Amino acid sequence: MAALRIMVVDDCPMLAVAIAKLVRDFGHEAEAFTDGSGAVAAYGGSNWHMVIVDQRMPGMDGLAVMRALRQHQQQSGWRPILMVSAFSSAEEQVAALHAGCDDFLPKPVSAAVLAAKIAAFARIFDLQEQLASQNRTLLQFQADREEEARVAEQLMKRLVLRAELDRKVLQHFVRATAQMSGDLILATSSSTGDRYVMLADATGHGLPAALTQIPLSQTFYEMAARGFSPVSIVAEMNRHHRQYAPVYRSVAAFVAVHRVREQTLEVWNGGMPDALLVESNGQVVRRFKSQNLPLGIDSDMSYYRDSEVVAVVNGHHLVLCSDGVFEAENSLGDWFGGHGVEDALLAAGTAGGFGRAVEEALDRHLAGHRAHDDLSCMILDCSPCASDMALPRANGDEQVTTGNHQWQLEIALGGARLRQFDLVPSMIAWLRELGLADGDVARLSLVMGELVTNAIDHGLLGLDSGLKNGPDGWERYATLREQRLDQLANGSLTIKVRQSGPGELLQLQVQDSGDGFHWQGRQGAQAQDYHGRGLQLVCALSNRLEYRGAGNDVFVEIASASAAHGAAGPRGGEQQ
């Protein structure tokens, strides 16, 4: 038992000193006080574990002392108080208990009884401290969990491209049963303007379910931006998911691409409820049933290869809902069901109100009853007039620069400057000042960003894209990149952009001081064989892609706005 600090209050100095001496003999600290007001004043300025107070004292008696001490303890916490008295009547004991007394010590004071009572309260005090410590631990654990959830929520918000979700072609809502949702809705566009959407539903709820979605979102965005098919995207997501996620954490997913120019819709459903293709009046045209396993269940891609391709016309909308919407139970145990979704679409009145109609019908069904699963819905407008996700392409109608017939912009940075300078955005800002058409700036920005990233990451820093694999791959890659960039002293990077005249080809050259690679042996290889699939996008947006020297000198020609018509197709890996 740990030593306690005990206050002794008695108007008789001899008795106060005697009781204090007994307390010290028991191995505790003790301090004697001969008046109640002095004891109360001393109690507020120090940490006491127990108080022994005489009932009958002149001035401030024991009952008043106890009431005052209990007022202090409302802020500092409970501590036991023992009343010393002859207790000639039951009424005196009742009054003491009402005043705040925890136990009685009869006069004359017995050393054995005093020792036993102190030991008993010490055990209670120890238990109280254990409970308080556990409570502090639980509160800290709760605070840590809330902070983790806040950080994860902010991370998820950054990973979800809100600008894409807020476009007019999309209607959506997500409701979480916990602080975070295990449902994820994503939307992005490829370099050719095709629109990609994904609705995923991870096993479970809250933070664990949300965390399993993070690498999937990265894979979806990267591969969709480069124009990969839904089956290819799903294959890569399944591979990543099986690498780091627990075997019991599968993810049901629906991936679709609307190819605007072809007016086709390719869909892939793995474990999600039926998706609907509806007309503008809400009438169902087609149902897309699950034909594949959820992600993470099997490595055999034969279970993940079934997609459907259908033609779409103006007014068609793709409606995706998680199983939480279909299985939402009201107070009677009735499900909202597929009929609830379809009835809401028919009653919406206009296609622009589909999402709001489903959400309002769901609210009426639940009538305040809490759903047992996350609720999410996404509706994609497949009308060709809604293709505002497409990047600007070169065409003869775009305005081009007049005035100077030739310009060149060149910048060379050493290692120290590369650590301080956000290169590509600054270069693009300068190029905008030259009056380049929006289509030129968009294509040049994409190509330059990819080549500069490759030059820095792979050429100067020697990073391997394989580092991104694994449960903490992206974080490890970013950390290593920052470390190596901080240590970069002798490396250099040069970017040259020029145009011979208005409408002429834009020429971009990126050189780094790295070791390069044996590009001659790669003649005729696929673009994704160089440093990753990013160069596939470079090829798609350029007329000419050429590696020189040791492979650390890349030259690209991009069709300008007025030179787009009749330009030759992209050629990758050519030697001048």
For residue 256, the model assigns a pLDDT of 95
CA–chain centroid gap for 150, Å, is 8
Q: Minimal CA–CA distance to 171: which of 336, 309, 317?
A: 317
Give the whole-angstrom CA distance, residue 350 versus residue 414: 58
Residue-by-residue DSSP string for 207-233: HHHHHTTHHHHHHHHHHHHTT--HHHH
DSSP bridge pairs for 31 = 7
- What distance lies between CA 253 and its chain's CA centroid? 19
- Give the model's pLDDT for residue 401: 45
74 has a pLDDT exceeding 50: yes
Give Cβ neighbours of residue 563 (< 8 Å, ≥ 6 apart). 394, 503, 504, 505
DSSP per position, 363-388: HHHHTTPPPSS-EEEEEEE--GGG-T
| pLDDT beyond 50 at 474 | no
pLDDT tens-digit series, residues 457-466: 888 888 887 7
| Of residues 327 and 191, more confidently modeled | 327
The whole-number pLDDT of residue 425 equals 57
Tens digit of each residue's pLDDT (9 = 90 or more) over 50-73: 999 998 888 898 889 988 998 888
pLDDT band at 319 (very low <50, low <70, confident <90, very high): very high
Per-residue model confidence as pLDDT tens digits over 115-158? 998 998 888 878 877 888 899 889 888 887 777 667 666 666 66
Place of tokens 């099986």: 242
**For the chain, what is the mean pLDDT?**
80
3-state per-residue secondary structure call for 18-86: HHHHHHHHCCCEEEEECCHHHHHHHHHCCCCCEEEEECCCCCCCHHHHHHHHHHHHHHHCCCCEEEEEC
| Mean pLDDT of all residues in 308-325 | 91
Q: Give me the residue label for tokens 């970069």.
A: 488
In the prediction, which pLDDT does 6 show? 93
What mean pLDDT do residues 528-547 have? Answer: 68
| pLDDT tens-place string over residues 441-459 | 777 877 887 788 788 888 8
Q: How far apart are CA 286 and CA 316, in angstroms?
A: 10
pLDDT computed for residue 22 by the predictor: 93
pLDDT at 78: 82
The pLDDT of 501-515, averaged and rounded, is 87
Are the beta carbons of 36 and 65 closer than 8 angstroms? Answer: yes
In degrees and rounded to multiples of 5, residue 560 shows phi and psi of: -85, 175
User: Does residue 384 have a cis peptide bond before it, meaning omega lies within 30 degrees of 0?
Assistant: no
State mean pLDDT over 369-379.
89
524, 576 contact by CB (below 8 A): no
- Top-confidence residue, 477 or 470: 477
Residue 316: per-residue pLDDT: 94
Q: List, for residues 244-294, the tens digit of each pLDDT value.
A: 777 778 899 999 999 887 788 889 999 999 999 999 999 999 999 999 999
Domains and CATH numbers, the chain: 5-131 (3.40.50.2300), 160-386 (3.60.40.10), 407-563 (3.30.565.10)
